[in-house]
Structure 1
């Protein structure tokens, strides 16, 4: 079994010396999760507001994809040029700008660039936060708890959106809340980083003249296989979260308030899985736990698809989220053992950004498929994504050096 807690350049300082940094990181990832989780509930209201069909409204996901894609191939270079602290501030600033512009409800053709800015900011911020947490000692457990806060945010997001609609608020109000929370987060981040930066030079290291770190990272097969695994993983996770509400209310004709609660149960399952399976992953090994979870994910999707009842939907969505829980943090945590330390930031940045791209690309494809075939196609499509996840997880295992094989 790979040890996921080897020393990295920044691990000479203990997590306790980064308590405030970690707290802010957890708050910001909670905000990102709330944004992702709420959009599935917002989507029908956005479609009605702009009088669009599923295919056209899914352009929102396409423009988010463009933002994530830009971040995936520029994040490492940006960090190298301006440093991790300024990159984090830039990502948070773009998130606030994108959310604030979206809250203005511009014409749809102007909304799309706003979504691109929001996606770019989220991808930059997500990559930077993951890199920071992964650089600390005991990063495996920290990453699971870190991503559990994403799940908490994604669980609260649908509840917040449903509550606002119950109070007869418009869909754009949620983006006002995200912008306000982002302002609080970036203010705290700025105050803390003024006193104690998150990185420090390490004695005996000299990275100058060693070539472009992103190019070097992209030469490693393990980076590509891990990135493609996370592309399909995040695509499956967010596609199910974003479209299950529409599927349950429009295809299954469920009660809008009850179905919003079921979707929040899916995100709650994601959080519970990350907390409950964090230490089990260390005991049984990453390869075994992830394959078991992929089996549980596929089985839960079949339950929701084949048995059209609210109870089965509630159970299936919770189990689906629970099964997905440990996959992202486990993949990020093993990278410190599979790539050189100087390439870790660029590798994780690329993984996180390409994974975030899946959060926009596959929901966009789902919208087009739903327009063509109907919303019933949601679950078969996500099952296909789960099969592709299995393929790339096995490729990742086989491409690692023999001494570092994922057990």
Structure 2
């Protein structure tokens, strides 16, 4: 039952990914239709991300009070209603109002599902979970590109995604009693595995950091655990650059490369496709290679993709660059999430994952809009340079976490 239940969790993450890529792919068409300035997309993204920060910070208490299943269902209902509202919005002001429930719903389900899988499943399941986020994020621009090309309507694209979301709400309602049952089964099963094979995979996943027992109570001040603050900074830069690429990539292709809008939307779907395929592959690689190695390799690959965008080469090279950035991003976010209970203790993981989500969405909130302001002043052509800088900052922050943990365990 626990394995089959993963299908429901994967479907929930598809729904989480679908709205994330819609605005960026549709904005070149939405902007003239609504009479909005270029930087308004950044403002909308900021509002959505602001809602996710609020709900992520509250996720620890919400998980304890309502449970992961109820949070997931209610959050999906909120996002479905908001997306349907987007399809009827007459102005940017209405979009801004609807962005509030869209962000609140996204943040709650993100933190809840990440904690659930990090606690009850192995590392490859975390990679595959985020692979299905990529399925949704890839499908969003594809749907939008289809409706823009065939029906000349970005509104119909939002309606189609809203219908998908409402369908998932029905599935989540039907499976609501399963969440606690599966959690109990997984905990009992992995405890037996750990007892039978103390050095096996289950024991490794359940292991606490050096000097901490699995039964130890949560730290009174988890933010003071070595490496926690730098890990949050890595999340900030990761989500900031991932969203910046998704939000402004199509505008860069149209404004700086002269690509038509529907082709630009399709190319951005390939960026998300790179994330998706990369996470599918990473799920198998985690059986042999550690999260930390995969995180570092992914950061170098994404940096190489950003460098390709900067070179004065044919447009096909730009497409390859976007795909490489997506492939490089693939192992970073799920790897950092799954490392949380291993690095900082299972007793601290629910609260810290909520904090990490909040800081991650702080990056989503501020970095893409800041780039929008910069682009409106200095030109969208700065996109490749900013992307590379953010990747480098993410890399440096992530490596500082490893150094801090090494120092604390050898002290």
Q: TM-score range by the shorter chain?
A: 0.7 to 0.9
Which residue of structure 1 aligns with residue 344 of structure 2?
A: 339
Separation in structure 1 between the aligned mates of residue 159 and residue 26 of structure 2, nearest angstrom: 14
Matched, 1:299 2:304: yes
Partner in structure 2 of residue 166 of structure 1: 149
For the residues of structure 1 that align with 2:370 and 2:316, how far apart are their CA atoms?
A: 28
Partner Cα distance (1:36, 1:400) in 2? 33
Task: Say which of 145, 156, 161 aligns to 2:128.
Answer: 145
Alpha-carbon offset, residue 45 of structure 1: 2.0
Q: Deviations over 1:308-354 (max 9, x none)?
A: 42110111111111111111111111112122323222222332343
Aligned pair partner of 1:290 in 290, 295, 298: 295
CA distance in 2, matches of 1:381, 1:37: 19
Higher relative contact order by CA 8 Å / sep ≥ 6: 1 or 2? 1
Give me the whole-angstrom Cα distance separating, in 2, the residues matched to 1:257 and 1:119: 26
Matched, 1:179 2:162: yes
1:53 to 28, 37, 41: 37
Task: Indicate conservation of the 8 Å contact 2:50/2:361, yes or no.
Answer: no
Select the residue among 313, 327, 332 that pairs with 2:318.
313
Structure 2: segments with no counterpart, 5+ residues: 189-215
Cα deviation per residue 1:43-92 (whole Å; 9 max; x = unaligned)? 12221122121223421012112112212322212223333332223322
Q: Does the Cα contact within 8 Å between 1:54 and 1:367 map onto a contact in 2? A: yes
2:118 aligned with 1:134? yes
Residue 30 (1) aligns with residue 35 (2): no
Contact kept? 2:276, 2:330, Cα under 8 Å: yes
Equivalent residue for 2:269, pick from 264, 269, 272: 264
Give the root-mean-square deviation of aligned CA atoms: 2.6
Unaligned runs of 5+ residues in structure 1 are 1-16, 204-209
**Is the alpha carbon distance of 1:155 and 1:56 closer, same or farther for their aligned partners in structure 2, counting shifts above 3 Å?**
closer
The reply on whether 1:237 has 2:242 as its aligned counterpart is: yes
Indicate yes or no: 2:331 matched with 1:326: yes
SS of alignment partner, residue 80 of structure 1: helix
Question: Residue in 2 aligned with 1:72?
Answer: 56
| Mapped contact 2:21–2:138 kept (Cα < 8 A) | yes
State whether residues 115 and 353 of structure 2, in contact with CA within 8 Å, keep that contact through their aligned partners in structure 1. yes
Q: Deviations over 1:341-390 (max 9, x none)?
A: 23222222332343244334322112111111110111111111111101
Distance 1:196 1:60, change over 3 A: closer
**1:133-164 deviation digits (Å, cap 9, x = unpaired):** 11224x21001111111112222221111100
Contact 1:124 1:353 in 2 (8 A): no
Distance 1:109 1:262, change over 3 A: closer
Q: 2:83 corresponds to which residue?
A: 99
Distance in 2, matches of 1:219 and 1:107, equals 45
TM-score normalized with structure 1 length:
0.86
Count of paired positions: 382
TM-score by length of 2: 0.85
Q: 2:14·2:137 contact (CA, 8 Å) conserved in 1?
A: yes
The aligned residue for residue 254 of structure 1 is 259
Change over 3 Å in CA distance of 1:196–1:247 after alignment to 2: closer
